[in-house]
Amino acid sequence: MEVEYSDLRIHNEKHQPPKERRGVIMVLPLRKMHVNQKGRIKAVTANGELGRRLRDMGLVPGTDFVIIGRAPLYDPVAIRLKGFTMTLRNKEADYITVDAEK
């Protein structure tokens, strides 16, 4: 099977570690992020039904997202990922660990 160099370059650009693609990276829970802050999901630690539901909604490791808003009392948080917007309660966001831009 022959693979062209251009195909390899495109593949490698998509799968670079976060530190090579962005500025300073912090690991923190999704709940601690600020509006307009970008990140990448590192882990979803919820088990059982909640864990399955979060993963079914597209919250899987490696997914890039941006925080687009918060309610006046900071719960829930609105995030944009994979072309759609979703909201999560802080209780749910605590189970999601992210690599966040500083």
Give the model confidence (pLDDT) of 39-76 as tens digits: 999 999 999 999 999 999 899 999 999 999 998 887 89
**Sequence-ordered list of residues with C-beta below 8 angstroms from that of 29, at least 6 positions apart, any chain:** 93, 94, 96, 97, 98
CA–CA separation, 75 and 28 (whole Å): 17
**Sequence-ordered list of residues with C-beta below 8 angstroms from that of 51, at least 6 positions apart, any chain:** 44, 45, 95
> What pLDDT does 79 receive?
94
The domain locations on the chain are: 23-101
Q: What is the pTM of this model?
A: 0.70
Query: Which residue, 51, 47, 49, 31, is CA-closest to 39?
Result: 31
CATH topology of domain 23-101: SH3 type barrels. (2.30.30)
Bridge partners (DSSP) listed for residue 32:
none
